[in-house]
């Protein structure tokens, strides 16, 4: 199959560190551009402490003084009224909370485990769009990335989920990507793997671990997007891809079952997710632009 022209490929190195995977998607520096300075912060933060969603996490065991460094005023919908963002640790677990300012107090718009990535810049008229990266824990081998977009309508604002991705913790990630992602379809059965090589004997550890480095098999014409390319020791080319799981095209193999993925993802609709991995260039057909 036709390969991507090498002139479009960034130079990159592979990383197998599960805790550095998020760097592929970006950093959270832009979120700081949304911060609004005010001497009223402590007064407003006190109004959030007894909200049921927040109190269920703090359980009254964390002082407001300990939480204050992670609170910031932001105007996430650009309506001129400062809202509140919490982005920090509670009892040693990282959480993101966004509190929407109402006339009679605050409403929890976002309350999720994880850290903020890929926030947009605060341009006039555009609301806050961002992603939350959630690390798997306790032996789980799935991390997740969820993108949120701000919706403002009928004098209220809220966040919608734009897309979600499952990221297997043992997957090797590139540290750079091609200049322009390329759409593709699988040719025959596409094997998506945790690394750019074929190894059907390797043991993948973790909760419900399996044998072999294949994440799963996709039927002909399954769609995805190419983000990076590398060459293995045999001189064969591999693409780092994001696979679409729409229309009932699930990850499936004799090593990893769909039900496991649904349970670990906490979502019964696996088609709502993208997945990332490596696929051999002979198993894809590039889409015409």
- Which residues 6+ apart lie within 8 Å of 188 measured at CB? 220, 283
Strand pairing class (83-90; 71-74): antiparallel
Burial class (CB in 10 A: 0-12, 13-18, 19+), 65: exposed
Residue 220 pLDDT: 86
Q: Please indicate, yes or no, whether residues 70 and 163 belong to a single structural domain of this protein.
A: yes
Residue 289 pLDDT: 59
Rounded average pLDDT over 6-29: 59
Residue 206, pLDDT > 50, answer yes
Where does the pLDDT of residue 77 fall: very low under 50, low under 70, confident under 90, or very high at 90 and above? very high
Q: Please indicate, yes or no, whether residues 155 and 193 belong to a single structural domain of this protein.
A: no
Where does the pLDDT of residue 270 fall: very low under 50, low under 70, confident under 90, or very high at 90 and above? low
pLDDT tens-place string over residues 211-259: 778 887 788 888 999 999 998 889 999 999 999 876 445 454 434 444 5
CB atoms within 10 A of CB 229: 24
Last residue of a domain, one of 150, 167, 184: 167
204 located within any domain: yes
Q: Please indicate, yes or no, whether residues 120 and 53 belong to a single structural domain of this protein.
A: yes
Domain extent at residue 103 = 23-167
């Amino acid at each position: 199959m036709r390969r991507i022209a090498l002139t479009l490929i960034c130079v990159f190195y592979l990383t197998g560190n599960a805790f550095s995977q998020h760097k592929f998607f970006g950093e959270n520096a832009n979120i700081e551009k949304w911060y609004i300075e005010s001497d009223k912060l402590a007064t407003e933060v006190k109004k959030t402490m007894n909200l049921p969603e927040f109190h269920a996490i703090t359980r009254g065991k964390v002082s407001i003084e300990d939480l204050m460094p992670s609170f910031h005023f932001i105007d996430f919908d650009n309506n001129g009224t400062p809202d509140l963002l919490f982005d920090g640790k509670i009892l040693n677990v990282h959480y993101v909370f966004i509190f929407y300012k109402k006339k009679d107090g605050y409403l929890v718009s976002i309350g999720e485990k994880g850290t903020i990535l890929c926030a947009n810049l605060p341009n006039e008229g555009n609301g806050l769009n961002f992603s939350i990266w959630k690390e798997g824990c306790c032996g789980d081998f799935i991390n997740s990335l969820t993108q949120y977009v701000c919706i403002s309508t009928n004098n209220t604002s809220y966040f919608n989920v734009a897309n979600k991705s499952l990221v297997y913790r043992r997957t090797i990630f590139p540290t750079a990507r091609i200049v322009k992602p390329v759409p593709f379809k699988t040719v025959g059965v596409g094997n998506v793997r945790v690394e750019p090589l074929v190894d059907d004997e390797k043991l993948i550890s973790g909760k419900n671990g399996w044998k072999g480095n294949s994440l799963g098999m996709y039927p002909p014409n399954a769609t995805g997007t190419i983000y990076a390319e590398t060459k293995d020791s045999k001189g064969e080319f591999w693409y780092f891809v994001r696979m679409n799981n729409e229309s009932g095209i699930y990850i499936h193999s004799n090593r990893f079952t769909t039900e496991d993925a649904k349970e670990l993802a906490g979502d019964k609709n696996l088609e709502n997710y993208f997945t990332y991995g490596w696929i051999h260039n002979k198993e894809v057909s590039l889409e015409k632009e």
